[in-house]
Amino acid sequence: MMSQARRQAELVLTFLTIEAADLTATLPEPVLLRPNTLGGTLAIIGDRSMRGSSAELLLDELWIAASPTLARLGSEGPKPDAALLRLVQYIGPDDDVGPGVPIDARWVRALAEFGGVIDIDQYVKEQESDG
């Protein structure tokens, strides 16, 4: 049976006092900048979505997209006021998904530097009927 699992991951950095125009020269591509409702800017990095693949592979791909930005912010750029690593999994009842998601040390180190949070949501979809 084909896996029904779908996973999405993103890294969101919050800059409360820095406007998007001031971040565009600092942050390497690809970073989506949006106004923050509290003021400042949300930087959304590496929004990734995959079907039928592991959470570890998805987080590896997100790391490849996010690591240049994290390195630049860690060494020379403005520090974000908050950081959020978000992973959402939509799984079917027959998907082979373990009870947890391993987060490796590189993510933990990077998020700790910016006072970050890891948010993992998992939703089980109902079996689709064939009729």
Amino acid at 20: A
Confirm if 4 and 95 have CB atoms less than 8 A apart.
yes
What pLDDT is recorded for position 12?
A: 92
What pLDDT is recorded for position 107?
A: 93
Count of residues for the chain?
Answer: 131
Higher pLDDT among residues 53 and 122, named by residue: 122
The count of other CB atoms within 10 Å of the CB of residue 53 is 13
E strand segments, the chain: 6-15, 31-35, 41-51, 82-91, 117-124
Reply yes or no on whether the pLDDT at 65 is more than 90. no
What pLDDT is recorded for position 130?
A: 55
Tens digits of residue pLDDT in 68-105: 888 888 777 788 999 999 998 888 777 776 667 889 89
Tens digits of residue pLDDT in 40-53: 898 888 777 777 66
Confirm if 100 and 34 have CB atoms less than 8 A apart.
no
Confirm if 117 and 85 have CB atoms less than 8 A apart.
yes
